[in-house]
């Protein structure tokens, strides 16, 4: 097991980047591509038009956030909710046994949950920001720091 632990940081980076590619690929056209086609599809499901823009924004900007490692836990949770909604409103029309209908959003949602639970790993902007913040706090005079009493 200790051999696998050495690969954890790289594995999380690869998982985040793979998810980012797929989510960006699916989110971009909802916002900037064939938006009208998505509006018609969402209306046919009984959803208001603005849901297309919400889903597109979550997928596009959530994908970018995963790629950069910025707010990875929040992005992972939002993408999980997005995929759960996609399965519920779109993919389960033929029932739970028609796995081929919902396998992609299922695995994307579960992978997003894994990123949310594990965090982004070592290669993230989140980590760089945290390290810089700690370094800055260490450089401040002690009388400027807050003391919890």
pTM, two decimal places = 0.84
pLDDT at 148: 47
Q: How much is the pLDDT for 149?
A: 45
Tokens of 19: 């998810």
* Segments of the chain with pLDDT less than 50: 148-149
At 145 the pLDDT is: 54
Query: Nearest-5° angle of CA 22, CA 66, CA 64?
Result: 70
């Amino acid at each position: 097991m200790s051999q696998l632990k050495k690969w954890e940081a790289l594995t999380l980076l690869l998982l985040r980047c793979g998810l980012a590619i797929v989510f960006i690929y699916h989110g971009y056209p909802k916002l900037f591509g064939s938006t009208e086609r998505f509006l018609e599809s969402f209306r046919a499901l009984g959803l208001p038009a603005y849901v297309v823009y919400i889903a597109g924004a979550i997928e596009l900007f959530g994908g970018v956030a995963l790629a950069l490692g910025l707010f990875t836990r929040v992005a992972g949770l939002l993408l999980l909710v997005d995929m759960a909604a996609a399965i519920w409103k779109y993919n389960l029309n033929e029932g739970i046994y028609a796995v081929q209908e919902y396998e992609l959003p299922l695995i994307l949602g579960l992978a997003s949950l894994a990123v949310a639970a594990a965090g982004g790993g070592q290669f993230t902007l989140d980590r760089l920001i945290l390290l810089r913040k700690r370094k800055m706090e260490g450089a401040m005079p002690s009388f400027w720091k807050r003391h919890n009493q």
